[in-house]
Amino acid sequence: MSNDTIAAPRSAHTPQYKRHKTGRASFEMMAWLFMRLSGVVLVVLIFGHLFVNLMLGQGIHAIDFGFVAGKWSSPFWQVWDLLMLWLAMLHGTNGVRTIINDYAERNGTRMTLKTVLYIAAAVIIVLGTLVIFTFDPCPAGAVTDLPSFCPVP
């Protein structure tokens, strides 16, 4: 009779409210701040890069292997490109991290996607940095396919 319990209604899905404190205090704040600051710096770096490469002098027609080699022989452009590489990679990685956090529903999926993301970002950052600093247009010992400005051995 009235002692019968009424079964709980079956809701479509009940998201459990399971917020918990994480150890990384203020990490999200630093990430948020980094996105704003790196964004502003990247606007200058990228448009400067595009202007110098595509507009100055002969413009787009000047771009070839020698042009890049010439740029990277100057420490100024090495630092410029290094900054652009690091900031763009970290900015983009953090953006994708946010998207994964938002849209991956299961913890396993989230972990997997973020692991792939971090490995990819690390490989590109390390490889790019290595290329910028160790780039040598005229490697010793090479005989064929050298650009014309290299000293003839």
Partner 1 sequence: MSPIETAETAPEPASKIDLPAHLGGGGGEIPSFDITLRVRRFDPETSAESTWEDFAMTMYGTDRVLDALHKVKWEQDGSLSFRRSCAHGVCGSDAMRINGRNRLACKTLLKDLDTSKPITVEPIKGLPVEKDLIVDMEPFFQSYREIMPFLINTGHEPAKERLQSAEERERFDDTTKCILCAACTSSCPVFWTDGQYFGPAAIVNAHRFIFDSRDDAGDLRLEILNDKEGVWRCRTTFNCSEACPRGIQVTQAIAEVKQAILSRKI
Is the alpha carbon torsion for 22, 23, 25, 27 positive or negative? negative
- Report, in Å, the least distance between residue 78 CB and partner 1: 31
Tell me whether residue 102 or residue 145 sits nearer to partner 1 (CB atom): 102
d(CA 69, CA 148): 12
- Report, in Å, the least distance between residue 39 CB and partner 1: 13
d(CA 21, CA 14): 21
Q: Which residues contact partner 1 by CB under 8 A?
A: 9-15, 17-19, 21-22, 24-29, 31-33, 102-103, 105
- Report, in Å, the least distance between residue 101 CB and partner 1: 8
Tell me whether residue 31 or residue 41 sits nearer to partner 1 (CB atom): 31
Nearest alpha-carbon partner for 119 in 97, 99, 102, 98? 97
